[in-house]
Homo-oligomer: A and B are copies of this chain.
Amino acid sequence: MAFLLKLVGKLMRRLSTQDQNFKQVFADLLAFETVSDPELLKTVDQIIADVRQHGDSHVLHLTQQFDRHPAHQFSDLELSQQQLKAAFDGLETDVREALQLAAERIREFHQAQKQDGWQYVDALGNTLGQKVTPLDRVGIYVPGGLASYPSSVLMNAIPAQVAGVLEIIMVVPAPGGELNPLVLAAAHLAGVHRVFTIGGAQAVAALAYGTKTIPAVDKITGPGNRFVAAAKRAVFGQVGIDMIAGPSEILVYAEGDNNAEWLAMDVLSQAEHDTVAQAIFISPDPQLLDDVATAIEQHLAALPKAEIARESIANRGALVLVKDRQEAIDLINQVAPEHLELCLDEAEQMAQSIRHAGAIFMGRHTPEAIGDYCAGPNHVLPTSGTARFSSPLGVYDFQKRSSLIMCSAEGVKSLAKAADLLAQKEDLDAHARSARYRY
């Protein structure tokens, strides 16, 4: 056991805020920069240009080439609503019920996010307001192969559906023509209107610019590989995009009475995603840090994805000893973690001091994995510190606003006078004259 412990100590770095070089070491640990690869960008730009020029035929060609898809014509790449429903009906009962529970809870939570317009009449008698409208048409990218998650279908499509989006189009690559029936079942459950079995930069290009068969959408959401991420960045402006997702992260803070085995598994639930995923455990309790380190090693021995998880925690994981809770709060706000677990009695109180986090899981009975599937809130969350300025995917991503202004003949006068003057100061004479006519 002593030998194992020593290995653990080496596997997952152990830091203390009292270490002389802590600030630098911790900053280095958090640093993660996606290298922009000029070759990749060139390839993606070319794919987008070709899809814009040749449409369906080029998308079909690339799908045959990259995905080894057996389709002969473009229409072979569209799935029917009947196929989606058949996938749903074919699920084992317990899986279908779990998926339904998840969909219901996600829908309930996202209903609360829906925004309505408003207006008011000012003291001058002018009406001002904000109109809220759903997007007409959105595209949802669902990765194929290993990372083809039905939960992602629900998390992307349900907010769009709740927002009132008129048409939801899903793309999901089908390598070798094979599809995960759970993904199709989730599309059925989430009210997806059309599904195309395409992927990569060609799918993003087709959604952004439209082809003969695929209508151009207004926004593209959902995760993908680096070709997909580069293509989304390239079409940003032509369409809206959600975000460019980085590797998944968890930060677990625990103090007081806790089950180290539970905490260790919560840490590993992020580490198993990806060798560059980041799992950080913070506590003021050195004994708990030891116990969690031991439990992590024990769990790893029995985990199917142990190899990935081990590399993740060796590369980017850390067990951090803090002096007190306030020090932990400061570190958390520095990290702005995608997922944050606060495992202590005063979790709600501590959460009030957290300024930056994608999702905050409070108490000892709220593992992050619940949030991935069925708690209700979205599992598409800002990564790599972007919680400093961005939000979980939500209904608000599928709604947009228009300002409303209606002046009365009397109410406009004092405004027109001020606008006239300010426009003159900005040397915009037509603006000034246009205002002047009204007073």
Contact B240 A390 (CB under 8 A): yes
Q: Using Cβ atoms and an 8 Å threshold, which residues of chain B touch A415?
A: 101, 105, 370, 373-375
Q: Using Cβ atoms and an 8 Å threshold, which residues of chain B touch A97?
A: 418
Q: Which of A98, A262, A409 has the most CB of B within 10 A?
A: A98
A351 to B374, CA, bound (A): 39
Q: Using Cβ atoms and an 8 Å threshold, which residues of chain B touch A373?
A: 415, 418-419, 422-423, 435
- The one of B244, B404, B429 in contact with A305, judged by C-beta atoms closer than 8 angstroms, is B429
A411 to B351, CA, bound (A): 20
Q: How far is the CB of A414 from chain B (nearest CB, A)?
A: 7
Extra contacts, 4 of them, besides A95-B425, A112-B118, A368-B434 (Cβ < 8 A), are: A133-B355, A218-B389, A265-B437, A372-B419
29 pairs of residues in contact across A and B, judged by CB atoms under 8 Å: A98-B417, A98-B421, A112-B120, A130-B377, A131-B351, A133-B355, A150-B426, A151-B422, A239-B389, A240-B386, A259-B437, A272-B429, A357-B402, A362-B404, A363-B407, A363-B408, A366-B407, A367-B437, A369-B428, A369-B434, A370-B405, A370-B438, A372-B423, A373-B415, A373-B435, A374-B422, A378-B403, A392-B401, A394-B401
Interface size on A, residues (CB 8 A): 125
Please judge, given known A-B contacts A122-B108, A433-B265, whether A354 and B422 are in contact too, CB under 8 Å. Answer: no
Residue A135, interface by CB 8 Å: yes
Contact B133 A421 (CB under 8 A): no
Q: Using Cβ atoms and an 8 Å threshold, which residues of chain B touch A361?
A: 405-406
Q: How far is the CB of A116 from chain B (nearest CB, A)?
A: 12
Q: Using Cβ atoms and an 8 Å threshold, which residues of chain B touch A101?
A: 414-415, 418
Q: Using Cβ atoms and an 8 Å threshold, which residues of chain B touch A150?
A: 422, 425-426
Q: Which of A71-100 contact B (CB under 8 A)?
A: 94-95, 97-99
Residue A162, interface by CB 8 Å: no
A278 to B209, CA, bound (A): 22
How often does this chain occur in the complex, in copies? Answer: 2
Q: Which of A142-199 contact B (CB under 8 A)?
A: 146, 149-151, 182
Residue A11, interface by CB 8 Å: no
A102 to B421, CA, bound (A): 11
Please judge, given known A-B contacts A305-B429, A412-B365, A428-B272, whether A403 and B392 are in contact too, CB under 8 Å. Answer: yes
Q: Using Cβ atoms and an 8 Å threshold, which residues of chain B touch A363?
A: 406-408
Looking across the interface, which residue of chain B has its beta carbon closest to that of A386? Answer: B237
Looking across the interface, which residue of chain B has its beta carbon closest to that of A270? Answer: B430
Q: Using Cβ atoms and an 8 Å threshold, which residues of chain B touch A271?
A: 430
Residue A69, interface by CB 8 Å: no
A94 to B417, CA, bound (A): 10
Q: Using Cβ atoms and an 8 Å threshold, which residues of chain B touch A437?
A: 259, 261-262, 265, 367
Residue A109, interface by CB 8 Å: yes
Q: Using Cβ atoms and an 8 Å threshold, which residues of chain B touch A347?
A: 406
Q: How far is the CB of A43 from chain B (nearest CB, A)?
A: 15
Q: Using Cβ atoms and an 8 Å threshold, which residues of chain B touch A438?
A: 262, 365, 367, 370
Please judge, given known A-B contacts A351-B404, A362-B404, A389-B400, whether A435 and B370 are in contact too, CB under 8 Å. Answer: yes
Q: Using Cβ atoms and an 8 Å threshold, which residues of chain B touch A284?
A: none
Please judge, given known A-B contacts A305-B429, A370-B419, A434-B367, whether A405 and B95 are in contact too, CB under 8 Å. Answer: no
Contact B269 A431 (CB under 8 A): yes
